[in-house]
Amino acid sequence: MLAVIDDLPLSDLRNAWFQHDGSPPHKLSSVQQYIRDTFQQQVIGYGGCVEWPPRSLDLNPLDFFLWVYIQQRVHATPPPTLQELRNRITDACASVSPAMLYNVQLEVQPRVQMCIVAEAHQFKNDR
């Protein structure tokens, strides 16, 4: 995470948010301090200004969209080499467009409603 963040221009970093998924390594005090120093008030989830249920697969855009999208693109066929795997991951991330992210954002509110109906239990989304 550090290398990617350190390479971001300051103007981009000011617009970046950290979504904390409750991962145990991110709970270390040194990591928490780094997250606070880097993202200040722009932290979603554990210890952040914007609360978010931990490990909420149904509500986390990283889980219900990004990782699935990246995995489908990267592993459509087995990558023959480690470098090819890296290239595919980079290309898949670069292919995420602003329009795709906008559509994902529109998907969050209906998912919140489905989560309420499911009384906070996981649910199957057939949309």
Domain spans in the chain, listed from the N-terminal domain onward: 1-44, 57-118
Range 100-107, long-range pairs (CB < 8 A, 24+ positions)? 100/69, 104/61, 104/65, 104/66, 105/61, 107/61, 107/64, 107/65
pLDDT digits (tens, 9 = 90+) for 16-72: 887 777 778 888 889 888 888 888 888 887 778 777 766 666 677 877 888 889 999
Model confidence over 68-107: pLDDT tens digits? 899 999 999 999 999 999 999 999 999 999 999 888 888 8
The model scores a pTM over 0.85: no
